A and B are shown apart, each in its own frame.
Chain A
Amino acid sequence: MHSSVVQAINDHQEQLVSNWKKEMARVQEEYFKNSLPDDLVFTNNEEFIDVLYSSVRLERSEAEGKIKHFAERLIQTDWPLSYFTQGMQAFRRIVTAYIVPYINNAEEDSMNLIVEVEEWVDAIVNQLVDDYSDSWVKTLELQQMALNELSAPLIPVFEKVSVMPLIGAIDTERAKLIMENLLDGIIQHRSQVVLIDITGVPVVDTMVANHIIQASKAVRLVGAECILVGIRPEIAQTIVNLGIDLSTFPTKSSLRKGIESALELTQRKMVRIEHGAEWRA
């Protein structure tokens, strides 16, 4: 930045800061309706103005580090981004209004001065917005990952028998994921029978049914079998009312019955253990 502007900003620090604080008090009242706690606003304002001034004095990289640090701390406490942008705008208003009359050298064009201040302020605003949006993107990615992990697990319950519980609505994207997890899981666990449990699926329409049918056909191709379990009464009604043909598809009302028939398919069954003779004797 031009040295005369820096000089002026430094020289009039006291006046600028007090003007800025007045402006921020107005912003806090008008824009945030005094919803932000006063003591926090006070300390944040102090630090904010400190960071602003250091960005004038320090080297570019050093100043960027300081702004980043400040932004990170406030992101963690959920401080609104608009508070920063409002603050920066207020500062720009005050600086341009206050400084310009003081630097009235013949060679200095006041338009140039304003442009310089704008550039300086814009750079800081951009950095703050970038920092904030980066943190939002990161949070979103983490949530997406967590969601995918929870989306379609294949659980091996017995040798050659696995269960895939589905919970929540199924869209095309998720159906794809379900199919991939299902097939990879079958190979990995060497399952012969897979039970797809739709107890937790709120709505089964033609699209969802179609996805499930496709998945079961793919399962057959890799050499396993699919049983649809957990069909609630209302789901059975929708399926028939919509005219979806699931007749080629083995279905069971509950997971328990599904497991029984899965064991049957793999030539096994559950038996009750008789207690030893010593208790009968």
Chain B
Amino acid sequence: MRIPILKLSHYLLISVQVDLDDQTALQFQEDLLSKIHEEGSTGVVIDLTSVDMIDSFIAKVLGDVVEMSNLMGAKVVLTGIQPAVAITLIDMGIMLEEVPTALDLEQGLEKLQQELEG
């Protein structure tokens, strides 16, 4: 199962529509990094609106992806984290402190623009 990565001018859009298992998440990490390399994107939005469960491994992968993308010069914003997911993450002690977040895709894109300008 591969997660589609869409290109929108300098940005990459990813909407995760399936339950992430370990394999899918790692595949996604590779796909995204090579895509950033190919396209030279400067910003990435990962939308998690349809994800209603995140375990500690997936959370770690997501944190890693953000860090790796930053190393490659692409800012990442996570959007649409559901309340239940947020509560689980906090309960597990995963704060994702370094990762910018936004309510939905629209605000995520806005935030990305701000971060790139600022």
Contact = CB atoms under 8 A, between A and B. Distances in A.
Interface in A214-267: 214, 217-224
Contacts of A218: 83, 86-87, 89-90
Interface stretch (B3-11, B29-37, B67-75, B95-103): B95-103
20 contacts: A179-B87, A180-B83, A183-B87, A186-B83, A187-B82, A187-B103, A190-B103, A217-B95, A217-B97, A218-B86, A218-B87, A218-B89, A218-B90, A221-B85, A221-B90, A221-B96, A222-B82, A222-B101, A223-B80, A223-B107
A210 B87 CA distance: 14
A224 B104 CA distance: 10
Interface of A: 179-180, 183-184, 186-187, 190-192, 214, 217-224
Interface residues of B, number: 20
Contacts of A186: 83, 103
A184 B101 contact: no
A183 B83 contact: yes
Contacts of A224: 103
B13 to A, nearest CB: 16
Interface of B: 78-83, 85-87, 89-90, 95-97, 101-104, 107-108
B89 A221 contact: yes
A127 to B, nearest CB: 44
Contacts of A184: 83
Contacts of A214: 90
A223 B102 contact: yes
Contacts of A191: 103
B87 A223 contact: no
Grouping DSSP codes into helix (H, G, I), strand (E, B) and loop, the B interface class, with mixed when no group exceeds half, is mixed
Most buried by B among A180, A214, A218, A219: A218
B96 A223 contact: no
A217 B89 CA distance: 10
Contacts of A187: 82-83, 103
Contact of A221 (B81, B104, B107, B108): B81
Contacts of A183: 83, 86-87
Contacts of B107: 192, 223
Contacts of B87: 179-180, 183, 218
B86 A222 contact: yes
A222 B81 contact: yes
B55 to A, nearest CB: 15
A217 to B, nearest CB: 5
A217 B96 CA distance: 9
B69 to A, nearest CB: 18
